[in-house]
Amino acid sequence: MDFAVLVWEGLRSLLAVALVLGLSYLPVLLLLHRHLALIRDPSYLLRYGVIVRSFDALDGVAEIIGRYRDSNIYRYVTFKGMRYDFERVVPVPRLFRVGPKELFVEPGIVYVAHA
């Protein structure tokens, strides 16, 4: 067998593997892109609610109106350009389920958008 034929067959095999891998990852990449686009959409966030692990993820906060479990409670917070007003605290956050227009900030502070 000629060396050039061997190289050609190796390249064809590599191309086939790359094509199969590329086609198998394409749906995953498209779904990821769609999900990231949904997260940027304010109406999507309002429809399903938001969970924020830290106040550092917020765009801005208003004046402090209280404290809960060593965290400040703010009159309102801004997240992704939307204003959420303080509504309540949740004593057992593990059992809490975020509703529409709600923003939940750990350790159990709930804000609501009035848009």
Across 44-69, average pLDDT: 89
pTM of the entire predicted model: 0.68
Distance from C-alpha of 94 to C-alpha of 58, rounded to nearest angstrom? 21
Nearest to 91 by CA among 113, 107, 76: 107
Nearest to 86 by CA among 112, 68, 51: 112
On the question of pLDDT at 63 being above 90, the answer is: yes
Q: Which residues contact 52 (CB under 8 A, 6 or more apart)?
A: 58, 79, 103, 104, 105, 106
On the question of pLDDT at 11 being above 80, the answer is: yes
- The pLDDT of residue 85 is 95
